[in-house]
């Protein structure tokens, strides 16, 4: 049976995650924990074999929905000139936009990602 999940991302030294099974992949039905800075949907085939729940590979990942603010490379240079590693990473990787999340983390903004300020 195909199950739907939402994966929440949390700030930390290494990004933490939690997962929740959901009935439908609809953003308006998701209650986002206040500590989470992003979420995305995915699906997984699951079956019970000899009383044990077996899960297949996670698939059909959605783009991320972030909670934060979008900055272009130009704005990062102007507002955060001290973030030289971020600026260098953006320039070297051809990133024109990043998002600073409400947790303070910076992530590349990819096509299809959504940012809620």
Contact residues for 67 (Cβ-Cβ < 8 A; gap 6+): 32, 36, 37, 38, 101, 102, 115, 116, 117
d(CA 74, CA 63): 24
Greatest Cα pair distance, the chain, in angstroms, is 60
Is the pTM above the cut of 0.85? yes
Please give the helix or strand (H or E) that residue 78 lies within, else none.
helix 73-79
Q: Rounded mean pLDDT of 51-79?
A: 95
pLDDT of residue 15: 77
How large a percentage of the chain has pLDDT more than 90?
A: 84
Residues 111, 62 contacting (CB under 8 angstroms): no
Query: What does the DSSP 8-state code read for residue 37?
Result: -
pLDDT tens for each residue of 17-57: 899 999 999 999 999 999 999 999 999 999 989 888 888 99
């Amino acid at each position: 049976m195909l199950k739907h999940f939402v994966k929440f991302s949390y700030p930390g030294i290494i990004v933490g995650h939690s997962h929740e099974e959901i009935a439908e992949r609809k953003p308006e039905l998701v209650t986002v924990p206040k500590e989470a800075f992003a979420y995305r949907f995915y699906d997984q085939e699951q079956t019970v074999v000899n009383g044990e729940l077996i899960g297949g590979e996670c698939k059909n990942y959605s783009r991320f929905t972030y909670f934060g603010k979008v900055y272009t490379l130009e704005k990062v240079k102007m507002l955060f000139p001290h973030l030289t590693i971020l600026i260098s990473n953006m320039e070297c990787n051809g990133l024109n936009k990043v998002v600073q999340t409400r947790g303070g983390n910076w992530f590349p903004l990819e096509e299809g990602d959504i940012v809620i300020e």
